[in-house]
């Protein structure tokens, strides 16, 4: 079983739709959590950190459920420019720099 | 600040050749990592470092060496290139273990 698992998609949605991505992680010692965005043939870029209380950045909302070892990302009012692959990332802080990435979920927003 | 700089951007190697992928950051970050990305496999950690002089293995370290003699530089050495090492390689750095990584733009390596 992979340490971080995501539905690979693709998710094909119309502009303006709300879309949710889910991610599960297997190591209960994981301490920090992130969502990254990766455009085709580009480097991953940090979208947002994920906190236990949940956090929001504009149209994006991230949630963490430590008991269920589950992370989510909600995108409201999807834009064409949101089309990308979204990567779920966890870090076991007791292992310093070891960030583990999920395979990513591909999102395609259509006009 | 240039951020994380990787060189070269593209490279073709013959099987058995060795080479070094360069990575430098100018943000005084302690933590640096090397990842490879292959279709259907996602990003896999090769080696990482939590500070100058300290390195450790990731998920797929075989065939690669690293060193961290300065805070700024974290080169990745391919000892004897194999076609299985054809991939996109990303270097990344971050200031603190609770923060996300900043990635370089990647090196696309083909081994023939």
Over residues B22-28, the mean pLDDT reads: 96
User: Considering chain A, what percentage of its residues have pLDDT values greater than 70?
Assistant: 95
Q: What is the mean pLDDT of residues A53-67?
A: 93
Task: Say what the pLDDT of residue A92 is.
Answer: 74
Average pLDDT over residues B82-97: 93
pLDDT at B1 over 70: no
Q: Is the pLDDT assigned to residue A27 strictly greater than 90?
A: no
CB contact under 8 A, B45 and A100: yes
Instruction: Choose the mutation target among B37, B97, B103, B108 for the interface with A, i.e. most A CBs under 10 Å.
Output: B97
pLDDT confidence of residue A74: 97
Cα–Cα distance measured from residue A51 to residue A62, given in angstroms and rounded to the nearest whole number? 8
- How crowded is the C-beta side of A12, counted as CA atoms within 13 Å? 2
Whether B45 has its CB under 8 Å from any CB of chain A: the answer is yes
* pLDDT above 80: residue A56: yes
B29 at interface of A, judged by CB pairs closer than 8 A: no
Q: Tell me which chain B residue has its CA closest to the CA of residue A47.
A: B100
Token pair recorded at residue A74:
């909600």
Q: Given a cut of 90, is residue B6 above it in pLDDT?
A: yes
The answer, yes or no, to whether residue A28 has pLDDT greater than 90, is no
| Best of A97, A104, A105, A106 to mutate (most B CBs within 10 Å, chain B) | A97
Which of B39, B38, B23 is closest to B104 using CA atoms?
B23
State chain B's mean pLDDT as an integer: 94
User: Nearest by CB to B105, which of A43, A101, A103?
Assistant: A43
* Record: contact A91-B97, CB cut-off 8 A: yes
Count interface pairs A-B at CB distance under 8 A.
Answer: 64
Which pLDDT belongs to residue A97? 60
- Which pLDDT value is given to residue A94? 62
The one-character DSSP state at B73 is B
Phi, psi of A95, deg, nearest 5: -120, 35
Query: For the residues of chain A, what is the DSSP string, one character each?
Result: --SEEE----EEEETT--EEEEEEES-TT--EEEEEEE-TTS--EEEEEE-TT-EEETTEEEEEETTTTEEEEEE-S--GGG-EEEEEEEE-GGGTT-EEE---EEEEEE-
More confident call, A54 vs B63: B63
Per-residue pLDDT for B62 more than 90? yes
Q: CA of B104: how far to CAs of A3, A18, A43, A91, B19, in Å?
A: 24, 31, 7, 19, 18
Q: How confident is the model at residue A31 (pLDDT cuts 50, 70, 90)?
A: confident
Query: Is B39 in the A-facing interface, judged by CB distances under 8 Å?
Result: no
Pairing relation of β-strands B102-103 and B87-94?
antiparallel
Asked if B105 and B9 count as a contact pair (C-beta separation under 8 A), the reply is yes
Query: Closest partner residue to A103 among B42, B49, B101, by Cβ?
Result: B42
């Amino acid at each position: 079983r992979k340490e971080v698992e995501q539905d690979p998609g693709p998710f094909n949605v119309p502009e303006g739709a709300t879309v949710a991505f889910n991610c599960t992680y297997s190591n209960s010692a994981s301490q920090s959590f992130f969502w990254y965005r990766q455009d085709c043939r580009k480097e991953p870029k940090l979208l947002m950190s994920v906190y236990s209380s949940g956090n929001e950045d504009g149209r994006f909302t991230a949630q963490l459920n430590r008991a269920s070892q589950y992370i989510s990302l909600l995108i409201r009012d999807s834009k064409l420019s949101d089309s990308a692959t979204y990567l779920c990332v966890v870090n076991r802080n007791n292992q310093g720099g070891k960030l583990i990435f999920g395979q990513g979920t591909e999102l395609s927003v259509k006009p | 600040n240039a951020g994380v700089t990787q060189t070269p951007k593209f490279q073709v190697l013959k099987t058995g050749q060795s080479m070094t992928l360069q990575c430098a950051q100018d943000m005084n970050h302690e933590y640096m990592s090397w990842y490879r990305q292959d279709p259907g496999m996602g990003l896999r950690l090769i080696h990482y470092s939590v500070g100058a002089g300290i390195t450790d293995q990731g998920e797929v370290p075989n065939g690669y060496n690293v060193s961290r003699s300065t805070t700024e530089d974290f080169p990745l050495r391919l000892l004897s290139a194999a076609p299985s090492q054809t991939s996109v390689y990303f270097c990344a750095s971050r200031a603190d273990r609770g923060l996300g990584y900043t990635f370089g733009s990647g090196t696309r390596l083909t081994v023939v």
